[in-house]
């Protein structure tokens, strides 16, 4: 179907005059008439009613108008994507991230990226550990901000920083006296396990130290975990980044021995990544350097 013919038809409907269409589109009036006639022949039925007052759609033509308008919109989007590809632009970068990175890092990173590449859209989504890596494997996203996972060795990882893990305890007089929290003290304690993007990192720490708390079977986000600890429903472990800006009445202490999760950008292949994905990675590094200095 010739898109230009459809544009002529929609303009005729909107303007109500073939003469005005000819003026707007730079055709002769006979040329516009020929285009409409050719389109009607192709369709197999009349599209316009001609009168002394101009033109209006036939019932058949009116029925097609919503679909034609939608088709013209998609055609315009397609032409834009083709133009971006010709300019070596991907058009859109699809990014998944854990909630804490999405909240504290990505707004600043995307802002810096758009200052350099205003025509490239960035689609953001939040996901759990397994969800993030499954989206990468399926090609649903271009890159992810996540923690490094030994269970997924076949991706490319770019180190960003180590995010220290903290014990999250109720705000009690006894806990206020502590300056650290031995991991061994988690043994047998009621533990509220965060679910979205954190459970695997925490379980690795417990396995390493040979400790097993009484893990409560919850499927809640980080903020809900904090609120549950605040109400003395158990204790937990979250990261420094997650606790950034927290105003709830809980105690957060470094664990001993020290534990952290390695925060990374992960993608299928850095070698085959598009130019703008590479530039997004560079903007990410620059932004974090501005936030944290040389500290990694």
pLDDT of residue 45: 94
Query: pLDDT, tens digit, for every residue of 11-59?
Result: 999 899 999 999 888 889 899 999 999 999 999 999 999 998 899 999 8
CB atoms within 10 A of CB 123: 11
The answer to whether the beta carbons of residues 205 and 259 sit under 8 Å apart is yes
pLDDT of residue 216: 73
Both tokens of 111, joined, read 């802002």
- 64 — phi, psi (to 5°)? -85, -15
At residue 74, does pLDDT exceed 60? yes
pLDDT of residue 80: 65
Q: What average pLDDT does the segment 276-282 reach? A: 94
pTM over 0.75: no
pLDDT of residue 199: 79
Q: What average pLDDT does the segment 207-221 reach? A: 85
Query: pLDDT, tens digit, for every residue of 115-146?
Result: 999 888 899 988 778 888 888 988 889 999 99
pLDDT of residue 107: 95
Average pLDDT in the chain: 89
Query: pLDDT, tens digit, for every residue of 282-294?
Result: 999 999 999 988 6
Query: pLDDT, tens digit, for every residue of 160-178?
Result: 999 999 999 999 999 999 9
pLDDT of residue 151: 85
């Amino acid at each position: 179907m010739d898109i230009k013919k459809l544009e002529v038809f929609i303009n005729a409907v909107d303007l109500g005059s073939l003469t005005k269409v000819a003026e707007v589109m730079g055709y002769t009036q006979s040329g516009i008439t020929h285009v409409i006639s050719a389109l009607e022949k192709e369709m197999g039925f009349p599209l316009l009613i001609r009168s002394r007052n101009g033109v209006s759609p036939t019932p058949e033509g009116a029925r097609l108008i919503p679909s034609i308008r939608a088709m013209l919109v998609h055609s315009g989007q397609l032409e834009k994507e083709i133009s971006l590809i010709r300019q070596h632009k991907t058009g859109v970068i699809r990014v998944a991230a854990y909630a804490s990175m999405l909240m504290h890092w990505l707004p600043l990173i995307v802002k810096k990226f758009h200052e350099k590449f205003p025509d490239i859209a960035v689609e953001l989504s939040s996901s759990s550990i397994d969800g993030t890596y499954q989206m990468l494997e399926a090609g649903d996203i271009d890159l992810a901000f996540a923690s490094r996972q030994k269970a997924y060795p076949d991706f490319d990882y770019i180190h960003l920083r180590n995010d220290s893990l903290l014990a999250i305890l109720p705000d009690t007089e006894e806990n206020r006296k502590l300056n650290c929290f031995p991991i061994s003290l988690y043994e047998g304690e009621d533990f509220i396990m965060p679910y979205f993007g954190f459970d695997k990192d925490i379980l690795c720490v417990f396995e390493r130290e040979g400790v097993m708390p009484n893990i409560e079977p919850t499927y809640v986000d980080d903020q809900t975990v904090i609120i549950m600890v605040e109400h003395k429903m158990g204790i937990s472990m979250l990261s420094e980044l997650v606790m950034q800006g927290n105003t709830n009445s809980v105690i957060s202490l470094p664990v001993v021995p020290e534990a952290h999760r390695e925060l990374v950008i992960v993608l299928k292949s850095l070698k085959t990544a598009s130019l703008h994905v590479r530039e997004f990675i560079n903007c990410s590094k620059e932004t974090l350097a501005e936030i944290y200095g040389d500290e990694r």
